[in-house]
Structure 1
Amino acid sequence: MDPTKLRRAIARTPLAPVAAFPKRLATVARHDAKVLRTSARWLVGSREHHNYTYDLTKLSRQHLAWFVSVVCAVPVSQVRAYFGEIESDDALRRHIERTTAGAARRGLADRQVRYARRIGWYAIVRAARPAHVVETGVDKGLGSCVLAAALLRNAAEGHPGRLTSLDINPEAGYLARSEPWSAVVDLVIGDSVATIDALDRPVDLFLHDSDHSRAHEKREFDAVEPKMAPGGLLLTDNVTHTNVLGEHAERTGRRFLAYRETPARHWYPGDGIGVAW
């Protein structure tokens, strides 16, 4: 019998799963071998134990550019130019490398600078030109530096702004404690919800990146809602795990869009950016 006809005949019988098993096993094995090789390289070459850093794949970067373009209503070419700005900021890159090398937690941090989805944060700040940005969850301060770099560029173009960075850990934010970035950053140590409640000026852009439990994320958005300036942007770093911001957008009459990043050469599946506007 012709091999093709034989395969088709077997596919119509209860033996089909058994016959297909070797091919399915080989497909899974190739996939898992690739993941294991990537994981092994990371275990040997990286020091990070959480809040992983990595580059984006070329395709993921392209999708991020279009995501920002749609949210901020700016040409995608302009977004790509913003990506180029932060990636070619040698002063910031050298600062992060030097500060990381001398930090108390240097044994758990990689010196190589990899921004991943944070280039999207940068582009959104550059495009939206917010006067007041609030981020919750600072950790080392990599994201704070990226946001501050965007605000400094905006200020040079006549659109000044400030960043309020909130974290409960007094050791957080060591990357953002140096000039010129610290000149636009107000680092506040304390409970994020209580601090949001105490804000005395409108918020143009809010980024949730702290406790990623669904309950805490919701408390932050509920707390910041009355503080938002007209047309303000709400961002979450937790969009791959919850739909809290999507639900908040629906309740408050906003639009919502989500982007999921794809890391290059990393075992971690990546995070994303959720935006309500």
Structure 2
Amino acid sequence: MDATKLRRAIARTPLAPVAAFPKRLARVARHDATVLRTSARWLFTSREHHNYTYDLTRLSREHLAWFVAVTCDAPVAQVRAWFAELDGDEKMRRHIETATATAARRGLADRQVRYARRIGWYAVVRARRPAHVVETGVDKGLGSCVLAAALLRNAAEGHPGRLTSLDINPEAGYLARATPWADVVDLVVGDSIASIRALDRPVDLFLHDSDHSRAHERSEFDEIEAKLAPGAMLLTDNVTATDVLATHAERTGRRFLAYRETPARHWYPGDGIGIAW
């Protein structure tokens, strides 16, 4: 009996789990060794303790391009061009590197600029051309810079817009306090729910990225409804943890899609983008 026939014969016997164990163990060991190497490298080369930054794998980036193309009804080639536009923004890249290196919190931040799923945020703003974007949760302001950069490009093409960034931490947003990005950003410090209630102009694009508890995420989406412009789009950075936006979309008669990113060369499994429109 040749090896193939022997394996097939064993597979039909009670010995099958025992015979398969070495192969299964080898696969798990290879996977775990890769994770351990990646984790060890990150521990000794990165300073980040939350809001991790990384690049996307080539395939994950391509899936994100199609995700934006479908949700924004834009040609996927144009979405890829918007990704490249952000990648090629050397002025902003140098600013982020310099501002990070000189910030008071530089001991907990990496200088290398890595946007991950935020390239999707950029492309959505380029595609939708919103007059007013609201984001909750700012932290260093990396995402704020990305959103502002897209708004500045839109303005240069005749479609001006502004970003209202809400955060409870008065030290948040230090990356977005420099010109020209600060020229289109209104940073509001305070509780996001109270700040949403105080908004005085319609919102075309809303992004939840603050307190990621289910209750708070739900409260933000419930509160923003009264402030939305016709045809507004809702985004969440919490889609890999909750179905809050999906449920909200169904209840309010919207469509919903979710994307999950795959980080390149990083131990973190990644976050995602949920969109309701």
> If the TM-score is normalised by the length of the shorter chain, which range does it land in?
over 0.9
Q: Where in structure 1 are there 5+ consecutive unaligned residues? A: none
State the secondary structure of the residue aligned to 1:188.
strand
Task: Give 2:196's aligned residue.
Answer: 196
Shift of residue 6 of structure 1? 1.9
Cα RMSD after superposing both structures: 0.7
In the alignment, structure 1 residue 65 sits paired with structure 2 residue 68: no
Q: Which amino acid aligns with 2:119?
A: I
The AA in structure 2 aligned to 1:64 is: L
Q: CA deviation at 1:8?
A: 1.6
Equivalent pairs, count:
277
Secondary structure (helix, strand or coil) at the match of 2:205 reads strand
Q: Which moved more, 1:135-144 or 1:39-48?
A: 39-48
For 1:80, the equivalent position in structure 2 comes to 80
Give distance in 2, aligned partners of 1:229 and 1:107: 41
- State the match for 1:52 in structure 2: 52
Q: CA deviation at 1:200?
A: 1.1
In structure 2, distance between residues paired with 1:137 and 1:148:
15
Q: How far off its partner does 1:2 sit?
A: 2.6
Tell me the equivalent position of 2:138: 138
Show the counterpart of 1:252.
Answer: 252
- Could you say which residue in structure 2 is the equivalent of 1:271? 271
After superposition, give the CA deviation of every residue in 1:107-154 in whole Å (9 maximum; x if it has no partner). Answer: 100000000000000000001000000000000000000000000111
Amino acid of the residue matched to residue 241 of structure 1? A
The Cα of 1:183 is off from its aligned counterpart by 0.5
What is the aligned partner in structure 2 of residue 151 from structure 1?
151
**Distance in 2, Cα, partners of 1:142 & 1:29:** 36
Counterpart of 1:9 in structure 2 is 9
Task: For residues 189-231 of structure 1, give each alpha carbon's deviation from its aligned partner in whole angstroms, at most 9, with x where no partner exists.
Answer: 0000111011111100000000111111000000001111111
Equivalence for 1:242: 242
Aligned twin of 2:207: 207
Q: Which residue number corresponds to residue 115 of structure 2?
A: 115
Counterparts of 1:91 and 1:136, CA distance in 2: 25
Q: CA deviation at 1:188?
A: 0.4
Q: What is residue 167 of structure 1 aligned with on the other side? A: 167
SS at match of 1:187: strand
For 1:200 and 1:255, the matched residues in 2 are separated by 27
Q: Displacement, 1:11?
A: 1.2
- CA offsets per residue over residues 83-110 of structure 1, 9 Å max, x none? 1111100110000000000000001000
Which secondary structure state, in structure 2, belongs to the residue aligned with residue 61 of structure 1?
helix
Q: Which amino acid aligns with 1:200?
A: D
Q: Cα deviation per residue 1:32-88 (whole Å; 9 max; x = unaligned)?
A: 001111111111111101000000000001010111111111101110111111110
Match of 2:226, as an amino acid?
Answer: P
- Give 1:5 shift: 2.1
Whole-angstrom CA distance in 1 between matches of 2:116 and 2:5: 49
* TM, length-normalised to structure 1: 0.99
TM-score of the superposed pair, with normalisation by structure 2 = 0.99
Q: Secondary structure at the match of 1:28?
A: helix
Aligned partner of 2:100: which letter?
T
Q: Which residue of 1 aligns with 2:93?
A: 93
Q: Counterpart of 1:49 in structure 2: which amino acid?
A: H
2:29 match: 29
